Amino acid sequence: MKIAALIFDKITVLDIVGPTELLSWVPGSEIVWVGKEIGPIRAAPTGLAITVERTLDEVSSADILIIPGGPGVRLLLQDDKVLDWVRKVHATTKWTTSVCTGSLPLRRDLLRETRGPAGEDSDVRRRVIRHRHGALAGRQDRRR
C-alpha cells in the first residue's frame, strides 16, 4: 500500500508524523515523503527538518494521500503546481486524508465560492469566521 505524505515548509510535525506512524504498522505499507524539491524542509515552530524524498513529478498515484496542516498551508493554497498534484493523486487514491488546516487545499474551490465580487467576504464566510473566533474566545475564557 503506497502512502504519499505531502510535506512542505512550516508544516506541523504532529500532523504528518501521527498518521504516518500509525499507517507504517500496516503490513505492506510504503510511505513516500513527497514535496516540491528533494531535501529538507523546516517544520513550524520547532524548525525540525523533515526530508522530501520524492518530488511531485515523481509520484503520480497513491493508495492513501495525507495532507498535514501548519502555517505553510497558506502558501500551498496559492501554489497551482501543488494543487494540481493533489487533484491528480486524489483521483488515484482509495483514501485522501488531511489533518487540521491540511483540509484547506482539498476545499479550495469551496472557499473560493464564499468570496463575493472582488474578493469580498460573503455573509456565509463572515458567519463561519465569527463563529470560529467566538468559539475560540469562549474556550480561552473558561481556561482562566
Tens of pLDDT, residue by residue over 14-73, are 999 999 999 999 999 999 999 999 999 999 989 999 999 999 999 999 999 999 999 999
Overall average pLDDT of the 81-90 stretch: 92
Average pLDDT, the chain: 80
| Domains detected in the chain | 2-111 (3.40.50.880), 114-144 (no CATH)
* pLDDT of 122 higher than 80: no
Phi, psi of 76 (to 5 degrees): -60, -35
What is the per-residue pLDDT for 108? Answer: 65
**Residue in this structure with the C-alpha cell 504516518, named with its chain if needed:** 20
Give this prediction's pTM: 0.74
Using CA atoms, how far apart are residues 105 and 49, in angstroms rounded to an integer? 23
133 vs 74, residue with greater confidence: 74
Going by pLDDT thresholds of 50, 70 and 90, the confidence category of residue 13 is very high
What is the per-residue pLDDT for 139? Answer: 38
* pLDDT of 121 higher than 90: no
Overall average pLDDT of the 125-142 stretch: 39
What is the per-residue pLDDT for 109? Answer: 58
Selection from 104, 95, 97 nearest residue 70 by Cα: 104
Using CA atoms, how far apart are residues 58 and 41, in angstroms rounded to an integer? 18
